[in-house]
Structure formats: C-alpha cells, structure tokens
Amino acid sequence: RLVSKDGRCNIEFGNVERSRFVFLIDIWTTILDLRWRYKMTIFISAFLGSWFLFGLLWYVVAYIHKDLPEFNPSMNHTPCVENINGLTSAFLFSLETQVTIGYGFRCVTEQCATAIFLLIFQSILGVIINSFMCGAILAKISRSKNRAKTITFSKNAVISKRGGKLCLLIRVANLRKSLLIGSHIYGKLLKTTITPEGETIILDQVNIEFVVDAGNENLFFISPLTIYHIIDKNSPFFHMAAETILQQDFELVVFLDGTVEATSATCQVRTSYIPEEVLWGYRFAPIVSKTKEGKYRVDFQNFSK
C-alpha cells in the first residue's frame, strides 16, 4: 500500500537531480523533519562545538598576550582574562560566557580590545544558537503531527445500506475531548488505469466524497463519527460487487483535515484501506450509550467491530 494504516507514506525518491544543498537553504524545515536522534545529535554538537571553538580562541588570546603560566608573567601583569591557565580553563570560560553562568572566578579585563570583541561576539552568537536550537526542539514537540496520533480510524471499511442507499462507511474517532475546528474529510481512490491510448498510469487518483448527516464541512467532532460515501453511478465502486471486490486492485486513502483547538495549527490525519479491508454486507456495532448519571459513554472496545 502507498499509505500505511497509521498514515505514513510508503514512497522513496530516486535519482533526484537537485543538489542536497537545496535542503540546507531551507535549514529550518530540514531540522524539523529530522528524527529525534539526529536532532539531539545536532543540538549537542552545536553547543559543544561552539564552546570548544571559542575555548580555542580564548586560549589563543591568552597565548598571544602571554598570560599563560609558561610565560612566567610578572606580578604587575594584567591578563586579558583572569585565571586562564590552559586549554581546559579556556574551555570552562567559554562555557561560562556563552551560557551566562558567571561563577565570578574568571573574567575579562579592560586590558585588550581583542578579548572584549571576542566576548561580545560569542555572547551574540550564543544567543542565536540557543534561540534556533531551543526553537527547533519546541517546534518539534508542538507539531500538529503528534495531535494526529489521537485521531483514529476503524480498522475496516464496510459496505451496506444507509438511508436506502448503498454506501461505503468508515468510522473515525477523536480520542481527546478538545475539538478539531473546521474539520473536513475526503478520500482518494488509488488504482492502476490504462488510458484509451494504451498508457498505463500507476497510482491514478479518483476523488471520493465522504459525508456525514450534517455534511462534510465543520464536523462537530466530539464523539466518534461514521462517515459514508454513496455508491451511485458516479462512484468508482459502482461496478464492484461482493463477489468481485477482492479481485479488485485499489487503495482507498482517507484524509481528515482540521485545526487543533489548543494551538490553532493545521493538522492532517490519513489512513488507507485495501480490498481485503472492505467488508461487504456488514455494519458497525453501536458504541455510544447514555449512563444513568446522564452522561454519554463511548465504548471504544467496539470501535472497529
């Protein structure tokens, strides 16, 4: 299948002519799309690398100014940075400067302008690195893709009569009490077709319209909904039958778009059904009931039954 049950797309790109440099131009999206292990590696490397690089620069400043103990500075010698005795202490001063710890043991003096300029430059660059990396982590955590994990579709689709019409029905549920605002649901039927000219089109897409009783726009998505597609003469399922549906070669991809109520970010959930997952002549078991206390109860044990 092209789309897995959890919405991931099974596709790879081969022989892409564009240079990978184009992905570095859009570095923000590239960082956000990385997996967590790569993102954390870049996060740690960015900070450790900058600390070590500036540690080397602070060591060079101390070396040029002859502040290190091996130069035996005189008692009245004023160093560029107090108490830098080697590469390790220079690294510690770089760390303290960039993360603004300020232990008070090592500090820049007004003796040399190079040290003052380096202090300003590292402070500004440290703020930029910190803002970018922390922003990337926060954006990764708050992406609406995670909200999509709390939207679930039924394992199977069914074909049965609804309102006197033959329909394909799918059940979808929101596992959170917070709503998806402005929800819209639709489908695509993917199949291989041969044109009158003899051209074979793989993954040819046909629109599938899904509705609920109140329409397919602005769903009140507080409880599980059963969406349905009417199988009429305009439907690609019209020429299928219970005896032949398993011999068909198609994939039905269902999409649910909406806006997350808590963050106002757009969200898309998708799943797919192949012929073996479309059951003809079945209907879904009821899952909504009313308790004695007057509350509505949803039994998710029967969600896909």
What are the residue ranges in the chain where pLDDT is below 70?
16-20, 144-146, 213-218
Residue 102 counted as domain residue: yes
The answer on 252 and 127 residing in a single domain is no
The answer on 235 and 94 residing in a single domain is no
Residue 15 counted as domain residue: no
pLDDT reported for residue 27: 81
The answer on 157 and 276 residing in a single domain is yes
Best CA proximity match to 280, nearest among 157, 186, 175, 121: 157
Paired tokens of 41: 């590696």
**Residue at 256: amino acid letter:** L
Paired tokens of 81: 């940075």
pLDDT reported for residue 215: 56
The answer on 123 and 106 residing in a single domain is yes
pLDDT reported for residue 110: 87
Residue finishing a domain among 127, 142, 157:
142
Q: Is 100 exposed, middle or buried (0-12, 13-18, 19+ CB in 10 A)?
A: exposed
The answer on 161 and 138 residing in a single domain is no
pLDDT reported for residue 18: 65
pLDDT reported for residue 141: 80
Alpha-carbon span 127 to 98, nearest angstrom: 8
Residue 78 counted as domain residue: yes
Q: How many domains does the chain have?
A: 2
Q: What is the CATH number of the domain that holds 183?
A: 2.60.40.1400
| Contact in structure between 229 and 240 (CB atoms under 8 Å) | no
Per the listing, tokens 């879904």 go with: 284
Per the listing, tokens 């870049």 go with: 42
The answer on 178 and 297 residing in a single domain is yes
The answer on 134 and 83 residing in a single domain is yes
Alpha-carbon span 170 to 182, nearest angstrom: 19
**Residue at 60: amino acid letter:** V
Q: Residue 181: CB partners within 8 Å, gap ≥ 6?
A: 258, 259, 260, 261
The answer on 224 and 87 residing in a single domain is no
Alpha-carbon span 18 to 187, nearest angstrom: 32
The answer on 168 and 291 residing in a single domain is yes
Q: CA dihedral defined by 144, 145, 147, 150, rounded to 10 degrees?
A: 160
pLDDT reported for residue 151: 87
The answer on 150 and 193 residing in a single domain is yes
Q: What is the CATH number of the domain that holds 104?
A: 1.10.287.70
pLDDT reported for residue 214: 54
Q: Domain span at residue 40?
A: 34-142
